[in-house]
Structure 1
Amino acid sequence: MEQSKRIRLLDILRGFAIIGTLGTNIWLFAQPGDFISLMSADGWLSNLEAFLAAIQTVLINGKLLGLLTIMFGIGLELKYRKAKRDKLPWLPFYSWTMVLLFLDGLLHYFLVFEYDILMSYAFTGIIVALLLSRYEGSLNFWMKASAVIHIVGVSIVSFLWMLILRDDALLAEIAAGFSEVKDLYTTGTYVEQISYRMRDFIRLRLEAIAIIFMNIALYIAGIRLFRHGAFDDSEKGKRIRKRLLRWGLGLGIPLNMLLLVPGGLFDLPVRYLFAPILSLGYIGLLAFILERGWWKWLLARFETIGKAALSCYVLQNIAASLLFYSWGLGLALMQNVYAIFAAWIGISIGMMAVAHLFVKFMGTGPLEWVWRKLSYMPFK
């Protein structure tokens, strides 16, 4: 139960996931109102830019979000162990921390970015914390049950999605709605954008609600990986990480490459079913790189971002908003793939520098510091 030493690989994975999440979101900032194109890779052989965008979608879109969800599950397990060591009432303590996370996500949603993930994670965290306190011995069952419900749901929605793609009138109506969003973020004021997020709260939160069973399964997968020693500095831990590398990449890459099949048949399954498999492969891959002593400078930068992950997640979305939205530099509707990649890399480098300062002077990020103080305040 004791876990006092910080595990470097976890910070590296968390930082890698944060940068990868920006790799997905940067397209939403650069091309607002074009969510469908983000999930599709049609026309990927038409030119080099389309090919690079497709590769990015295959390797990054949804995969690092899946990894971040697994990391939140591991974070829940670490908090569970610490609560036991400190003799804190587990469910009240963790539920309170999730209320704080939800409020953070709510502010982030209204003031910065409508595709916030923190509210969904807060809701998932409370559910899994409840399972952990009452049904700890059957977590494997709840993980499998949640995964099955999610798979059935995605299969049904994918079938409906294929029908939508064949209905020109419905597609035109969807495109008109996206056009309004595009106009809002390219010409609208900051206040108008906040008003839009408030007015369409339920509709804009549908994806976060729809993936709740996937989140539960991935949270529990993270807990089980940690409990089975996947992050231990031992031979058993190395064997588990090698299996994650072999099976995660060996299955994940071919399955995610199905996105390249024309017609949109695999658009939803790739993002919502196959992406987490590749997420597990990335755990094995970064563990392999760390154990070999490769890319030390880059891994150290991932590590610092991982120690200030919450702050960096919000910061990167603020930076992207300033860069692309009408009340900032107004670079939205950017079509040049190289420029979008450059924006991603530029913001990531900026985050590396800021995270280094956060960790050097505070030991963590400012949001993490406030969150930690408020989390323990009622229980002192």
Structure 2
Amino acid sequence: MTTRRIDVLDVLRGIAIMGTLGTNIWIFTDPLGPAGVMDALSGSGAADTFLHFLANGKFLALLSLLFGVGMELQYRSAVRRGVTWPGRYLWRAALLFVEGLLHYVLIFEFDVLMGYAVVSVLVAFLIGRSDRVVRAWVIVTGTVFTAVIGLVTLALLYGVAGLSSGAAPSRRFAEGGYLDQVTARIVNMGTYRFEAVFIVPLGVVLFLLGSRLVRAGVFEDSERGAVLRRRLMVLGLGVGAPLNLLTAFSGEGWFLVDRYLLPPLVALGLLGLVTTVALRAGDVQGRMRRGLTAVGRTALSCYVFQNLAGAVLCYGWGLGLATRFEGLRPWWTVAAWAAICAVFMALATLWLRRFERGPLEILWQRAYLMSWRPARETTVTDDKITNNSPQG
């Protein structure tokens, strides 16, 4: 991978991290906290709904694709060095699961790292298989997943089923203490972790797609790569985005389609668009690109930081702004998102002036190396790609 293509991946990862906050910030700023997740993710007015449409599910899907890209590059590195695969990668997955568990218990109910850790173990045994095997897994898993989403959507539309967060209405998060909230996460783990039912199969498809996009040359600055990126943009932005906008305004019955089925198409379009723009820009480094690159290189730290910052700003044990500014939604929610993003972009940029990795990435790498002989597992180039992403 050339330096330019490494930078493109960092920019994409930075956008994905900021986009996930674009979804999560609605949960933080809802006075009901996790109990109001359905309203937080779907919106209650035209402005709310459109703002939710911009982020809901799309950047989670983009992050999943990039995890697949990272796994492919780690697999290539292992093959190049003659290292058994998945081998040590399973230890990476275990660390990621523990990290996600701590993040869930201590900070945020809707952590994705635990689900990604589970997906990565399965994909680790598939990523090196033939294209025929991988294609079969993508088609079968994707078809079953789509069928389940379709059946549940029909049940919702015809009133056979309903959507609920599963948590009783409570202002515990907006007004309660920190230990009360930690206890609630532990007691209601089954409820808060239910989204993994959708994240795991969808993650398998997107991880494998990310891997195969690398092999197809989507990140190459070539005619082949340009043609593939144009196709992704047509599919994602020309077809997926309009359909997603339609479902966003079609009512609660379309929620699962709106969050899990169409956003991956939009994410593919975003990947094609951002990669094209970044490659055309070449080595030009404006302030925004430098900030996005810094976030991408410290993705795990920024992911945890943004959720911690959201909790401090909004929850009762912090500044309690979810209650104080309840009447200013949705606009103060957008302002909170922008402020948090600006802060961690600046902090990431300053941190990387002195360190190669983010603070949590450094701790993660040390924990990983403690169980293995202290030999460098990857080259410097591979480190920039694989060891600065949320999967390590």
Would the TM-score normalized by the shorter structure come out above 0.5?
A: yes
Read off the aligned partner of 1:117 and give its amino acid letter.
Answer: V
8 Å Cα contact 2:8-2:279 kept in structure 1: no
- Show the counterpart of 1:283: 271
Tell me how large the CA RMSD over aligned residues is: 2.1
- Show the counterpart of 2:366: 373
Tell me the number of residue pairs that the alignment of Structure 1 and Structure 2 aligns.
364
8 Å Cα contact 2:290-2:349 kept in structure 1: no
Q: CA deviation at 1:363?
A: 1.4
- Show the counterpart of 1:139: 134
1:90-101 → structure 2 map (5 Å cutoff): 90-101=85-96
> SS at 1:349's partner residue?
helix
Aligned pair in 2 of structure 1 residues 187, 83: CA closer, same or farther (>3 Å)?
same
8 Å Cα contact 2:23-2:41 kept in structure 1: no
- Show the counterpart of 1:190: 178
Q: CA deviation at 1:135?
A: 5.7
- Show the counterpart of 1:332: 322
1:41-60 → structure 2 map (5 Å cutoff): 41=43, 43-44=45-46, 51=47, 53-60=48-55
The answer to whether the aligner puts 1:301 opposite 2:291 as a matched pair is yes
- Show the counterpart of 1:47: none
- Show the counterpart of 1:318: 308
The answer to whether the aligner puts 1:13 opposite 2:12 as a matched pair is yes
8 Å Cα contact 1:252-1:278 kept in structure 2: yes
> SS at 2:352's partner residue?
helix
8 Å Cα contact 2:49-2:249 kept in structure 1: no
% same residue:
37
- Show the counterpart of 1:356: 349
- Show the counterpart of 1:120: 115
8 Å Cα contact 1:105-1:118 kept in structure 2: yes
- Which consecutive unaligned segments of at least 5 residues does structure 1 have? 45-50
- Show the counterpart of 2:232: 244
8 Å Cα contact 1:150-1:214 kept in structure 2: yes
- Show the counterpart of 2:76: 81
Read off the aligned partner of 1:93 and give its amino acid letter.
Answer: R
Read off the aligned partner of 1:113 and give its amino acid letter.
Answer: F
Q: CA deviation at 1:292?
A: 4.1
Whole-angstrom distance in 1 between the partners of 2:179 and 2:301? 23
Whole-angstrom distance in 2 between the partners of 1:14 and 1:142? 25
The answer to whether the aligner puts 1:203 opposite 2:191 as a matched pair is yes
Whole-angstrom distance in 2 between the partners of 1:289 and 1:133? 30
The answer to whether the aligner puts 1:28 opposite 2:30 as a matched pair is no
- Name which of structure 1's ranges 361-370 and 322-331 shifts more when overlaid on structure 2: 361-370
Read off the aligned partner of 1:247 and give its amino acid letter.
Answer: L
Structure 1 residues 299-322: Cα deviation after superposition (integer angstroms, max 9, x where no partner): 221111000001100010001110
Q: CA deviation at 1:175?
A: 8.0
Whole-angstrom distance in 1 between the partners of 2:318 and 2:10? 32
Q: CA deviation at 1:35?
A: 1.3
- Which consecutive unaligned segments of at least 5 residues does structure 2 have? 374-392
Q: CA deviation at 1:133?
A: 4.6
TM-score (norm 2): 0.87
The answer to whether the aligner puts 1:148 opposite 2:138 as a matched pair is no
Aligned pair in 2 of structure 1 residues 116, 176: CA closer, same or farther (>3 Å)?
closer
Whole-angstrom distance in 2 between the partners of 1:272 and 1:175? 16
8 Å Cα contact 1:258-1:266 kept in structure 2: no
> SS at 1:332's partner residue?
helix
TM-score (norm 1): 0.90
Structure 1 residues 73-132: Cα deviation after superposition (integer angstroms, max 9, x where no partner): 111111111222333221221111000000000000000001000000000000000122
> SS at 1:362's partner residue?
coil
8 Å Cα contact 2:221-2:279 kept in structure 1: no
Runs of 4+ in 1 over 6 A off after TM superposition: none
